[in-house]
Structure 1
Amino acid sequence: MPDRAPRGDAREFTAVERWIDDRANAVLARGSGRWRPWVVDAVVFLLKQAWACVFGFLILVAIVAVRLWWPADAAVAPNDALVLIAVGIQVGMLVARLETVRELWVVVLFHVVGTIMELFKTDVGSWTYAADGILRIGGVPLFSGFMYAAVGSYMVRSMRMFDLRFTRYPPLWATVVLGAAIYANFYTHHFVWDARWVLVVAVLVLWARTVMHFRVHVRVWRWPLLVPFVGVAAFIWIAENVGTAVGAWTYPNQADGWEPVSPQKVVSWFLLMIISVVLVTLVHRPRTPDAVAAPGDARAR
């Protein structure tokens, strides 16, 4: 059996995460077959990824359920119901200690940044929401901020659960400058030249050499950091198709009937990922791999 990746302080894990690790240890204790550690790592990776996505998944399920099945004569409007459900999910996770207070601060930060963007984007007509409900600011129902918060929740939970470390991570000041430029371009491209492709190139140059080290259970794995950037952006695009299909919000080209969201939006979500990474690293500073752990770990190359 390969060397185990060193575990962090168990107090950092929620009850669900400890349960996953305990089940994995029980499977490993039953034997030492050649493929058993690989299978365990694969299953643990999928389970922890699903758990990291739980907030976003529950929000998406709530959006689909409310937009499709909420009674038309209900006392609470659908958009308001989504706000109350989202708050309930957040409070429930915190009370049940399925989310840490530190993670909550990141979620709040994403909520504020996302809501500000929503106010501008709806004002210039990039997309629209149904006009029902009173829990809104202008044309923006407050549940929209929770969709951005879901991205923050996923990222900060992944950083903690997988004990993310990085080699050749860019200087923090450079990432902040680029993140600010990307955030500004989401606004300024409506009035001046759209610099998104220049910004994409800048992202590729800045993070091209960065490698992410993440502990699953048995091994510590290494991936180029740009790989999860693209992967998460693609998943957000899929979720966006689901949200627009049930009428949670509408793009101009969907006004006469739903059609898939343009694949070009993946680029927008890729750039949003950079803003998200910068926000998370302001709370959880990027760390390098432990020097004492590296020689003994069996790593995928």
Structure 2
Amino acid sequence: MRAIKQLCRFGWEQALSCLFPVVIFASLALTQIIPLPLLPRYDWLLLICLLMQWGMVKSGLETRDELKVITLFHIIGLCLELFKVHMGSWSYPDEGYSKLFGVPLYSGFMYASVASYLCQAWRRLDVKLIQWPPFLVVVPLAAAIYLNFFTHHYWIDIRWWLSGLVIVVFWKTWVEYVIGGTRYHMPLALSFFLIGFFIWIAENIATFFGAWEYPNQRDAWSLVHLGKVSSWLLLVIVSFLIVATLKRVKGQGEKANGANLNTSGRRHLSQEGTQ
């Protein structure tokens, strides 16, 4: 019974962390079914995402620091979308005033929602990383994974080499998280795969509701190829590495500030004692 309760608690915390993605999926479904006045569908989706983002920050569900991370992911995702649509990997066939070179601006929020989930889950589950690799290894690896999304159109696709490198680099790295006061551990590589797989499921839902369209879905919707799991897996890794690196940098900065305050306090007491 305790295991079932813990699983339910874990599922509840995950559901709360997925609030932004859930709103996006609900908006995709509703705007597909309900006739929309005044503006095209893509523009309504952009307005909904902007209002959702404002509401989460205003209500305290997201902090201003998390908003900065999410904005960074919006930019990263939008750059990837512009390139992929230009290369014909997928398309956004509907009209919209907020489209830039064939890409609706709301699409960046789909990447931002992944960052929102990671930030929310990190805070709610009190995530800690055990045996995290050095900064000089993590950053080039994340950069190589992201660049491969672009370069494989002109050069060889090295995603499987990068996936193998991820396993080697993070072989000893574990994720520690808390559920109901109990700490659990999971290999980081396994968490990457699980998140990537569930995003692939979400991608099937999104394409079903017309969020975007792959070439093989132009005549009728069909299941997204299972091979896309590897793409989402690598994108999740990039997302996780950026969030983890930023949190570690912030944590080190807070420790340094705390040490400086303690030193200043000791000096102040020492001076008072001398006087």
Shorter-chain TM-score bucket reads 0.7 to 0.9
Amino acid across the alignment from 2:16: W
Shift of 1:167: 1.6
Are 1:221 and 2:184 counterparts? yes
Distance 1:167 1:53 in 2: 24
Please say which of residues 209-218 and 109-118 is displaced more in the overlay: 209-218
> How many pairs were matched up?
250
Query: Residue 266 of structure 2 aligns with which residue?
Result: none
**Larger mean Cα displacement after TM superposition, 269-278 or 166-175:** 166-175
* Structure 2 counterparts to residues 147-158 of structure 1, below 5 A: 147-158=110-121
What secondary structure sits across from 1:63 in the alignment?
helix
Partner AA of 1:161 in structure 2:
R
Equivalent residue number for residue 136 of structure 2: 173
Letter in 2 for 1:53: C
Name the structure 2 match of 1:69: 34
- The separation in 1 between residues aligned to 2:27 and 2:35, in whole angstroms, is 10
Equivalent residues in 2 for 1:1-301, closer than 5 Å: 35-36=1-2, 38-71=3-36, 74-285=37-248
Q: Name segments (4+ residues, structure 1) moved above 4 Å.
A: none
Write out per-residue CA displacement over residues 280-301 of structure 1, whole angstroms, 9 at most, x where no aligned residue. 02321188xxxxxxxxxxxxxx
For residues 14-54 of structure 1, what are the alpha-carbon distances to aligned partners after superposition, in whole Å with 9 as ceiling and x for unaligned?
xxxxxxxxxxxxxxxxxxxxx54x44432221111101111
Work out the CA distance in 2 between the residues paired with 1:212 and 1:282. Answer: 14
Q: Distance in 2 between matches of 1:68 and 1:172?
A: 47
CA contact (8 A) 1:67 1:248 kept: no
Give the Cα separation in 1 of the matches to 2:184 and 2:90. Answer: 40
Contact kept? 2:176, 2:183, Cα under 8 Å: yes
Equivalent in the alignment of 1:7? none
Q: What's the TM-score once normalised by structure 1's chain length?
A: 0.80
- AA at the equivalent of 2:130: T
**What residue number does 2:270 align with?**
none
| Structure 1 spans left out of the alignment, 5+ residues | 1-34, 288-301
Partner in structure 2 of residue 13 of structure 1:
none
CA contact (8 A) 2:28 2:210 kept: no
SS in 2 for 1:108: helix
The aligned amino acid for 1:98 is L
One-letter identity of the residue aligned with 1:67: Q
Please give the per-residue CA displacement for 1:70-116, whole angstroms capped at 9, x wherever unaligned: 33xx2111000000001111111111112211111111111010000
Segments of structure 2 that go 5 or more residues without pairing to the other structure are: 252-275
- TM-score normalized by structure 2? 0.87
Residue 131 of structure 2 contacts residue 172 of structure 2 at CA under 8 Å; is this kept in 1?
yes
8 Å contact from structure 1 (residues 111, 148) kept in 2 = yes
Q: CA deviation at 1:218?
A: 2.3
